[in-house]
Each structure stands twice: as structure tokens, then as C-alpha cells.
């Protein structure tokens, strides 16, 4: 069984630490990566794909540093970055062929896998259309297909479901879960439900630090008793919101409900039993940031 270890991984830009001594071990299965904007998710992914020079620490794949593995490591990795424009004059099929050439795949394998992956991401009908005419979601699917070429052992996916409609998202999520049976998948997303449903492990990044890395159940358990709801008038809610700006407001008929993640919970707040990863994230990162 393959193992990917991040040991004291640090990336520093001048005085600013974008990633601060992150230590995590990834094994086959989906590891969800949650973090606010600027938390260090993309930096972590760039370090893992050796697109960025690390300041300190190590990334070991099966015990060997990925820098030592070099091209061999890159041969094991499939990476989906967040891109809005990729070679607009390439057709989807041409783009996959191009990526297969860069991955060093044989022509016959490339052809077979291209057809298969285009079908998987539901782009067969648009295989010959130029990427420039694709919508954001279609482009994202093309990129995901490209990262899956060559059946990589490690998949690093940065927002792979961004811009997809619900059906597509579920389809892809299922496929990623299927792939993760025998692969290491690191999945960064803002759609917490994607992680909740398929991630075996969740990693919470906050200001470059790994706040927690555990199974979703364990994280939920840790948050038990610290997530509550306050029901009241608009004025009461407004007053409470001033103290707990990260509270999530919902309107239920004429009354308002504020869902708060705090330790201890404020007076009058009823602890809830159904805790989501979003609550855990709010509790552990302590901010109103975009999830």
C-alpha cells in the first residue's frame, strides 16, 4: 500500500509563512482538504507537485523524497489545477492527446484512455470542440480527465467540481471515490458536501497550519457540544451576531435562527446533535472566511 508523508512541510515568502510545519500522512482513499482562501491549500498542492521550492520539510512517497524521485514521482501523479483558460484552440481530445504525450504514454494506451475518460467526464459529444468554446464546468471536466490519464497512483485535485452542475458533481464524486479505492487522492474543494460524502480523512488548514487531520466522524465528535442554535427575534439575533460574527443565520418562518460554533456556547443556545464538517471548520478555524 502506497504512502505519502508530508513531514514538517514549510513554505515561507519572506516573513510570511504560507505553510507552517505541516505533518500529515496520506494513504489510499480520499483526503479532503478544507481551508479558507489564502489558508495554503494551493501552496501545499504546488509543493506536492514540485511546482514550488519548499523552505523546509520533506515529502516522501513510499519512504523516498519526491525530489529524489523526480520524473518518476511526476509519472505517478495526476494533477488538476484551477484553470480558467487552457489552450483555447485545442479540442478536448487534442488536449488529452497532448497531455498523454507529456505523460509519456504509448499512443495506443493514450487513444483508449482518452476515449474512456472523455466518456467518464461526459465530454464524448464535445470531444472535437475547441476548449475556447467550453463553459467553465466543461473545461474543469476536461482538466480532470487529463489528470486521470495514465492511471496515476496519486491524484491531487484542486477544486475539481467547481462550476459543475449537481448531476455532474455527483457523477464525478462517485468516480473519484471509486478511484480512491487503490489510490491516494487529495481533494481540495469549497463544496464541503463533496468531502463529507467521500473523504475518509479530512485535513483542516488555517493560516498555513494544519489545525486537524482526522476522519470526518472523529472531527464531528470533537465538535460535539460546541455547536448550537439560538432562536429569537431579529434584534436579539443581531445583538448575538455582533459577538459571534461567524454564526450562520437562517430564517424559519417569522423567527430567525443563528447557528453558532463556540466553546463555550452562549447562554440560551441549544446544542445540536447533527454536526456537519462546515460546523467543524468554523469551530476550528474561528473565522467568517469563505469555506
- Which chain residues interact with other proteins by CB under 8 A? 46, 49-51, 71, 74-75, 77, 79, 81, 83-91, 93-94, 97-104, 107, 110-111, 127-130, 133, 143, 146, 156
Q: Closest approach of Cβ 32 to other proteins, in Å?
A: 20
Q: Closest approach of Cβ 286 to other proteins, in Å?
A: 31
For residue 138, what are the contacts with CB-CB under 8 A and spacing of at least 6? 92, 123, 126
What does the radius of gyration of the chain's CA atoms come to, in whole angstroms? 21
Q: Which is nearer to other proteins, 107 or 221 (CB)?
A: 107
Q: Which is nearer to other proteins, 94 or 236 (CB)?
A: 94
Q: Which is nearer to other proteins, 79 or 281 (CB)?
A: 79
* Alpha-carbon span 33 to 30, nearest angstrom: 9
Where does the chain have alpha helices with state H? 41-48, 66-69, 71-76, 92-102, 107-120, 136-148, 166-179, 192-198, 216-223, 234-243, 277-285
Q: Closest approach of Cβ 156 to other proteins, in Å?
A: 8
Q: Closest approach of Cβ 85 to other proteins, in Å?
A: 5
Q: Which is nearer to other proteins, 146 or 260 (CB)?
A: 146
110-140 in b/e form (b: 16+ CB < 10 A) is beebbeebbebbbbeebbeeebeebeeebbb
**7 within 8 A of 58, measured Cβ to Cβ:** yes
Q: Which is nearer to other proteins, 31 or 100 (CB)?
A: 100
Q: Closest approach of Cβ 64 to other proteins, in Å?
A: 16
> Coil, strand or helix: which one is 224?
coil
Amino acid at each position: 500500500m502506497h504512502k505519502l508523508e508530508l513531514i514538517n512541510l514549510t513554505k515561507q515568502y519572506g516573513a510570511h509563512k504560507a505553510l507552517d510545519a505541516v505533518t500529515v500522512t496520506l494513504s489510499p482513499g480520499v483526503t479532503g482538504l478544507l481551508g479558507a482562501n489564502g489558508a495554503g491549500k494551493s501552496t501545499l498542492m504546488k509543493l506536492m507537485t514540485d511546482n514550488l521550492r519548499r523552505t523546509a520539510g520533506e515529502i516522501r512517497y513510499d519512504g523516498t523524497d519526491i525530489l529524489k524521485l523526480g520524473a518518476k514521482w511526476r509519472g505517478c501523479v495526476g494533477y488538476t489545477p484551477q484553470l480558467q483558460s487552457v489552450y483555447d484552440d485545442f479540442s478536448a481530445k487534442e488536449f488529452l492527446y497532448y497531455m498523454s504525450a507529456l505523460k509519456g504514454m504509448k499512443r495506443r494506451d493514450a487513444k483508449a484512455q482518452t476515449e474512456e475518460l472523455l466518456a467518464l467526464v461526459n465530454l464524448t459529444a464535445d470531444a472535437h470542440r475547441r476548449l475556447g468554446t467550453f463553459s467553465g464546468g466543461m473545461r474543469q471536466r476536461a482538466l480532470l480527465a487529463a489528470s486521470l490519464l495514465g492511471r496515476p497512483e496519486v491524484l491531487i485535485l484542486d477544486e475539481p467540481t467547481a462550476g459543475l452542475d449537481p448531476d455532474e458533481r455527483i457523477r464525478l464524486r462517485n468516480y473519484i471515490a471509486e478511484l480512491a479505492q487503490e489510490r491516494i487522492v487529495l481533494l481540495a474543494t469549497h463544496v464541503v458536501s463533496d468531502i463529507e460524502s467521500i473523504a475518509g480523512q479530512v485535513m483542516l488548514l488555517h493560516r498555513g497550519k494544519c489545525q486537524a487531520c482526522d476522519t470526518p466522524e472523529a472531527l464531528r465528535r470533537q465538535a460535539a457540544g460546541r455547536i448550537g442554535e439560538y432562536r429569537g427575534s431579529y434584534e436579539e439575533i443581531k445583538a448575538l451576531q455582533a459577538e459571534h460574527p461567524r454564526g450562520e443565520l437562517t430564517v424559519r418562518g417569522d423567527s430567525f435562527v443563528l447557528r453558532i460554533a463556540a466553546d463555550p456556547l452562549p447562554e440560551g443556545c441549544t446544542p445540536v446533535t447533527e454536526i456537519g464538517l462546515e460546523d467543524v471548520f468554523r469551530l476550528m478555524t474561528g473565522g467568517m472566511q469563505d469555506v
